[in-house]
Amino acid sequence: MATRRNYSVIYQDGRTRIVNNTPVNNFNPQGIAKSFLDILSLEMERLYDNAEYIYRSIDPTRAVGRDLDRIGFLVGVQRQSSIYAADFSETNFSFFIDKKISWSINQLIDEFYSDSEKNILVQNGYLVLNSDQTVSYLSIPAGTTVFNSSKTITYTTVNETRLSSGSAFVAITAAGTGPTYNVESNSLITHSIYQIPELRKIARYIKCTNIYPITNGKYAQNDEEYRYNITTAKAALPANELYIRKVALGTPGIRDILFEKNKYGAGTVHIIVDGVSPLVSNGLVSITEQNIQNAASYGDRIYVSAPEYLGVELNFSIRTTPTATDPLSVRNQVRNALISYINNLPIGGEIIWNRLVSIALEIPEVIDFIPNYFKYGNYDSLNKINKEQIILNFINQKARYNEKWYTDSGLVVCCIA
């Protein structure tokens, strides 16, 4: 494209040409020559501006906003809209009776409601009785609001929840779009059941939580993300590895994937997803699998799974400087730093023991790190327990290609020596 010229450059060039090629030399502000040259210079500047705008609007590397959307439309790539954080798997968020009281739903209702009050609950649809008049289940209506502890993040239940024995799982969706509604495990721990007059008596005994993180909330694609999708659209032809990877990584909450061809026979693809959060929920796996299935060629069979989690248990002591003012705070810093290191290792990653020790010693006021035991097991993310534990030496430990290290504050114990 020609270099843009502004009014001053055009005016000076025009005046020089007129002086050199004509007898006109009067360019006073009231002069005719000055007026005509002003008009020409201003219009030429506008032409340059329009030409630059047109060129920019059709250049994928420079177009923005609606201009970029038009380019995407021409190549068949749509900008991804904002997404609500949600989990529809019904294996993550649940209501349950407070485990501190160890009551069944029948005991809870009998404790707080008379027979006449039970009949009101039944008439209003909150209680279902068996033929022998015992409680079958308590109905928590769809649209019940659940929050994090500070009530800054709000979700609502999608369906009716039937609470009887154990945990009653239900699908939930955020009240708004974007990553600000993404939550970590055990974040949604308060609810609005107390706002239902008939259930107010027992609301405090009904608890809730999300076992896995919910991290699929996302803002609409910005121009840079959309521009990348447009420029790679031709290279990422449907059904090839690049395209499948692109679709998988486009799912909010997915950090990386491991791609295995023909693992279960010809025409099969096994994909192991690594989430932004340490644990990948079944809901996130299902969404990713659905997105990939929609993009895969006919006849391809796609299998998507979370990695196999290896729960790391670490028990150690630290020695602080004599001048340490808050040893408990130092202990928490060390524990959190080690948890972050282990959880951010990729699938198939290796725990470097010297690195783990150095992370602890890098915390201010820590002068010594004394390990007591180091072991791992097959981590059951649903029940939050570590199975089949193996005691390890204090050396580097590498996971297999489909395994991922995981730990949390319940598995890492730090004492002050």
Q: What is the pLDDT of residues 138-147, one digit of tens each?
A: 999 999 999 9
Cα 109 to Cα 132: distance, rounded to the nearest angstrom: 15
DSSP 179-194: GGG-B-TT---EESGG
The HSE-up count of residue 141 (CA atoms within 13 Å, CB side) is 14
Q: What is the pLDDT of residues 292-342, one digit of tens each?
A: 887 766 566 888 999 999 999 999 999 999 888 888 999 999 999 999 999
Q: Which residues pair with 271 in a beta bridge?
A: 259, 304
CA-closest candidate to residue 416, choices 357, 370, 383, 348 = 370
Tokens 């791609």 belong to residue = 259
Q: What is the pLDDT of residues 254-271, one digit of tens each?
A: 888 888 877 777 777 888
Q: Does this model's pTM top 0.85?
A: no
Confidence label for 353 from pLDDT (cuts 50, 70 and 90): very high
Mean pLDDT of 5-23: 84
